[in-house]
Amino acid sequence: MSVAANRAPEQERTVLVVPGMHCAGCMAKVERGLAGIPGVSAARVNLTARQVAVLHDAGVTTPALVDALAAIGFPAQPRVEDLAPPASAVKPLLAPLGVAGFAAMNVMLLSVSIWSGAAGSTRELFHWLSAAIGVPAIAYAGRVFFASAWGALKHGHTNMDVPISIGVTLATVLSLYETVTGGATAWFDGTLMLLLFLLVGRTLDAMMRDRARAGVDALLRQAPPGALVVGKDGSVEWLAAGQLVPGMVMRVAAGERLAADGEIVSGQTRLDLSLLTGESAPVAALAGAEVHAGTLNLDAPVDVRVTAAGQGTTLAEIARLMEASGQVRSAHVRIADRASRLYAPAVHTLAALSFAGWMIAGAGFYKSIVIAIAVLIITCPCALGLAVPVAQVVACGALMRKGVMVKDGSALERMAPIDRVLLDKTGTLTRGRPVPDPLVLASMGADDAAVALALASHSRHPLSRALVEALSVEGVSAATLEAVREEAGEGVRASWNGVEVALRRPGLAGGMASVLDIAGRPAWLIPFADSLRPGATEALAELAALGAPASILSGDNAAAVAEAARATGLDAVGEASPQAKQQAIAALQAEGHKVLMAGDGLNDGPALAAADASIAPGTASDVGRQAADFVFLGESLAAVPIAIRASRRTMAVVKQNFALAIGYNVLAVPLAMAGKVTPLIAAAAMSISSLIVIGNSLRLVRVAK
């Protein structure tokens, strides 16, 4: 029986999100680790999406796979289906790019011989061949632009794609006419090359958006909010946040975040509200207390009766505020579109003028229209189409290598003119999590530290986990313990070489602290505090030097904010509600300032959406990461001035690129209007101006230094 069952196992495919994978070594470890599990037949990592697809027998459960990955050091989560990655922006462009590339090269091959003097039937044959390749290729590869131009025209406005589409269509029609009538010049080569260059620019732009989105999605997908729901019969079941209904009772373990608003039914604990309000001091909560979604349970498990879920929660209220505050963003017109608004009418006027001029001069309809079309082709915004995306892609790549992810190119445009910075305190200016006092850790003996690490590793309490992290970094290895038991809300007890040891909360908990007891030795009181991010002082000084002075805008209590203000020397506003933060930004904007908001919490969401540009740390809440334009990984606050400086240099290069592209037009247009432009000149001018723009943009490779 077992033989038959083994021969035809039911194969299943599971996709896990593994945000910790970064390199070839990680890929190999994950793939080999999973392949080593009995019942797993294949595991394939997708590094771009930070996912691994596992092909396995039905007997292997998802938790088993997650545990196996955790054992080799990679926290993983099953992919949440409704958060599946949005369709890639690059993919639909690759096939048109391939076709345009193929056609441009082959038609150029034929054109070279025409330029070299092929005449008569050879030229006619080559024109027909060019048409046979060019017309279908233009129709296929040009769809990207035609569709976008048509969409803009239908809504009564114009974009960069309108002059492109008009130029390409007219040039194709003229070339076909020339081919059929056996004329001397056809423009298929130039038209195809134009499409190729423009598609390259478009693809680079899309690639940048995809990359940034992949990084942000990997962060977003790793924390599916939900709760353990206790049934009437005492059974427990994990439900996603969307399935929670008022009246249900959630069991929230220490170290978990609440998935819905509610009221504590049993148990007592302390809650960390920092993500929701910015308040840094833990708040005690007894049975009957009202609690909000997004708060972190610190001490002991509690049962919470849901009073509002989904649309009714404080979270949903914040989401509504954010929706209402995106006007600055939508009012921003990207620099490429601004340029094309000026450019398109200018080009079309020039073409019309040349036509009229030559008609008046008596050149005849045919010659006049040929010259007008030559003007359109030569002015087609080829270098202009590359000017923005190439610069932004290069800059985003440089920023990404520094751990700053850019959501899209317009973020760089909005970031460049920033002249005021508002910083949230908890989690942005500070690390947002408690760190054990390094002086106390340093003065502990090796034995004591080893016991502390061993005890702390048995608890999911946030303070214990902070202690594990701090001690592991210092290279302490855990002592061997026996009879370990965790008492919820009290601490962890165990025996170490026959001695009673414990890591517990202090008797009269004033601030945040843990006590390490080792029988026969004096007890250690380990205080925990939220500390400034590394590099904060330097980063703030640099912001001031960049002409973007910072101040603190926090929801935390006045005393804690005043302390941070003293430590950094900044102005500070405390106890600001999400609405107050939004109003503070609006007030600055009304004075003509361009405001950058740096924040992480749910309460910062509306402010992040309202500011001209926004940046959030990678440790921020989902809302914060989604609302922010930039997300910086890593601890250091230096990412903020780096992002501002990189944006400014990028915009400087974009403007140089525009100047180069327009300078080329200033040279080429008089030639075209004089009727002196041949397909050869058009092709050469187009490639040279594009190469110059690309070369200029590549100077941004080191922009994020």
Partner 1 sequence: MTGLALLIPIALGLGLFGLVAFFWALRTGQFEDMDGAAARILIDEEGDGLP
Binding site for partner 1 (CB under 8 A): 23-25, 27-28, 32, 45-49, 90-91, 94-95, 98-99, 102, 105-106, 109-110, 122, 129, 133
Nearer to partner 1 (CB atom), residue 95 or residue 446? 95
Q: Is 429:423 a contact under the CB 8 Å cutoff? A: yes
- The span from the CA of 469 to the CA of 466, in Å, is 5
Q: Is 412:651 a contact under the CB 8 Å cutoff? A: yes
Nearer to partner 1 (CB atom), residue 47 or residue 567? 47
Cβ at position 217, least distance to partner 1 in Å = 14
Nearer to partner 1 (CB atom), residue 114 or residue 372? 114
Q: Is 237:229 a contact under the CB 8 Å cutoff? A: yes
Nearer to partner 1 (CB atom), residue 31 or residue 57? 31
Nearer to partner 1 (CB atom), residue 137 or residue 637? 137
Cβ at position 130, least distance to partner 1 in Å = 11
Catalytic-residue membership of 424:
yes
Cβ at position 401, least distance to partner 1 in Å = 13
SS3 state of residue 550? strand
The CA distances from residue 468 to 95, 248, 399, 472, in Å, are 51, 35, 31, 6
Closest by alpha carbon to 559, among 283, 280, 298, 285?
280
Cβ at position 377, least distance to partner 1 in Å = 24
Residues composing the chain: 705
The first and second tokens of residue 214, run together, are 């992949």
Q: Is 192:201 a contact under the CB 8 Å cutoff? A: no
Q: Is 96:140 a contact under the CB 8 Å cutoff? A: yes
Cβ at position 141, least distance to partner 1 in Å = 12
Nearer to partner 1 (CB atom), residue 195 or residue 539? 195
The first and second tokens of residue 672, run together, are 């075209």
Nearer to partner 1 (CB atom), residue 69 or residue 638? 69
φ, ψ at 498 (rounded to 5°): 85, 0
Closest by alpha carbon to 559, among 572, 549, 545?
572
- Cβ-count burial 54-84 (b if 16+ within 10 Å, e if not): bbbbeebebeebbebbeeeebebbebbeeee
* Residue 339: other Cβ atoms inside 10 A: 19
Nearer to partner 1 (CB atom), residue 106 or residue 472? 106
Closest by alpha carbon to 532, among 648, 664, 433?
433
Angle between helices 24-35 and 62-71 (to 10 degrees): 130
Sign of the Cα pseudo-torsion (654, 658, 663, 668, in order)? positive
Nearer to partner 1 (CB atom), residue 211 or residue 420? 211
The string of DSSP codes covering 249-291 is: EEEE-TTPBPSSEEEEEE--EEEE-HHHH---S-EEE-TT-EE
Cβ at position 514, least distance to partner 1 in Å = 40
Cβ at position 525, least distance to partner 1 in Å = 44
Q: Which of these is catalytic: 210, 424, 530, 556?
A: 424
Cβ at position 46, least distance to partner 1 in Å = 4
Cβ at position 327, least distance to partner 1 in Å = 36
Q: How far is CA 280 from the centre of its chain?
A: 27
Closest by alpha carbon to 139, among 205, 203, 195?
195
Which value, in Å, is the radius of gyration of the alpha carbons in the chain? 32
DSSP state of 83: G
Nearer to partner 1 (CB atom), residue 93 or residue 560? 93
Cβ at position 124, least distance to partner 1 in Å = 13
Residues 6+ apart with CB under 8 A from 391: 650, 653, 654, 657, 696, 697, 700
Q: How far is CA 245 from the centre of its chain?
A: 32
Residue 349 C-beta-side C-alpha neighbours within 13 Å: 5
Bridge partner list, 617 = 632
Residues marked as catalytic: 424
